[in-house]
Amino acid sequence: MASERDVAAAPDATADAPIGLDEVETYLRCPRQYQYEHRQTIRTRTARDAIDRRTELYRTVLTSTLDRCDPDEATLRETAMACLQDRLEATTAEAGGATGHHRRYDEASIRNAVANYVAEYGQAHAEGAIAIDETYTYAADGHAFACPVDCFRTDGERYEIARFVTTLDGVVWENPYSDPVAQYRDCEAFYPRQVGSVLRAYATIHAVAAAHGIDAHNVVYRYYAIAQETYPDYGNDGSGPEVVSDRRDATDACWEADDACDDVLAEAARRIVDGDWNPGDRWDEVVARSCRNCKYQSMCLDHLNREVQF
């Protein structure tokens, strides 16, 4: 069932500073983590940061390619590779302690991932594209949320929003056994990254549908994992690692959750606006699920205080 609540959404139509949906996801994982990452902007260099940088690289290359290309596969491939080469040269300095061999191997896997995307999805995305690399705004309960879209397209019948990610880690399953958003709201379960992936789909579908005057139920939201699996170059033939893409449709999960999405979004926004960074409300769940992979563990007083209690 569609939400009966008001949906006022259009690019730049609402509040001055919309809250990012990635920010909401961080807040759901742990309010203190949100404070460190988004308020104090404390930068780290962990494995998760490396994945985030890789995702940004894929997004930049693929959206630039779709944006400036005729949709024939050869042109798409050529444009994508030229764009990727520019980006790789610009970021070589960031490789830090990586050896030359390591860097070449890594770059080969990125090239193969981009080439796979172009071969599998590039033409369809470019041909039907309505908007590329656009940010829409969703409004709920007096709060505005920024909804970035990598590609919004149509096949002539239905509409699709595509969001590029490196892997599907943390993205809700296509047919979840239960509703992670309602369970989060009702304090029955704590899967904040899955919840974040559903909220992103829900808010973005509504925002895009309202902005383009189409039925939200005719819009699907898919995550495209550009490098879901990477296998070593066993043959050592110079072709580089084998990279396999994947995609996952989050649409059903977001209609299943429906009003629970607005409830969780509104509650998170209210607490973010109030400057409430205390993880105490969900402390047991935060400790059980968020602390162990948190990049701020070594400096977080909430975590350190708990450790020295035992």
Binding interface with ligand SF4 (CB under 6 A): 30, 32-33, 36, 279, 286, 290-291, 294, 296-297, 300, 302-303
Tally of CB atoms within 10 A around 102: 11
| CB contact at 8 A, 79 and 65 | yes
Give residue 12's region: left, alpha or beta (phi > 0; psi -120 to 50): left
Nearer to ligand SF4 by Cβ, of 211 and 294: the residue is 294
Residue 272 CB, nearest approach to ligand SF4 (Å)? 15
DSSP, residue by residue, 91-148: HGGGGTT--HHHHHHHHHHHHHHHHHHIIIIIHHHHHTEEEEEEEEEEEETTEEEEEE
Can you tell me the distance from the alpha carbon of 192 to that of 266, in angstroms, rounded to the nearest whole number?
15
Which one, 153 or 303, has the nearer CB to ligand SF4? Answer: 303
Measuring CA to CA, which residue among 143, 120, 190, 123 is closest to residue 14?
143
Beta-carbon contacts of 75 under 8 Å, excluding residues fewer than 6 positions away, are 69
Max CA separation in the chain (angstroms): 62
Q: Which is nearer to ligand SF4, 48 or 68 (CB)?
A: 48
CB of 35 to ligand SF4, least distance (A): 8
Query: Judged by CB, which is closer to ligand SF4: 240, or 279?
Result: 279
Cα–Cα distance measured from residue 241 to residue 104, given in angstroms and rounded to the nearest whole number: 11
Q: How far is the CB of 267 from ligand SF4 (least distance, A)?
A: 18
Q: How far apart are CA 1 and CA 4, in angstroms?
A: 9
Report the residue number, 61 or 294, with the smaller CB distance to ligand SF4: 294
Q: What is the C-alpha end-to-end distance of the chain, expressed in Å?
A: 48
By C-alpha distance, which of 180, 204, 179, 177 is closest to 192?
Answer: 180
Which residue lies nearer to ligand SF4 by CB, 135 or 297? 297
Asked if 264 and 195 count as a contact pair (C-beta separation under 8 A), the reply is yes
- In the bound state with ligand SF4, the residue whose beta carbon lies nearer, of 59 and 295, is 295
Q: Nearest 5°: phi and psi at 222?
A: -125, 140
Name which of 44 and 85 has its Cβ closer to ligand SF4.
44
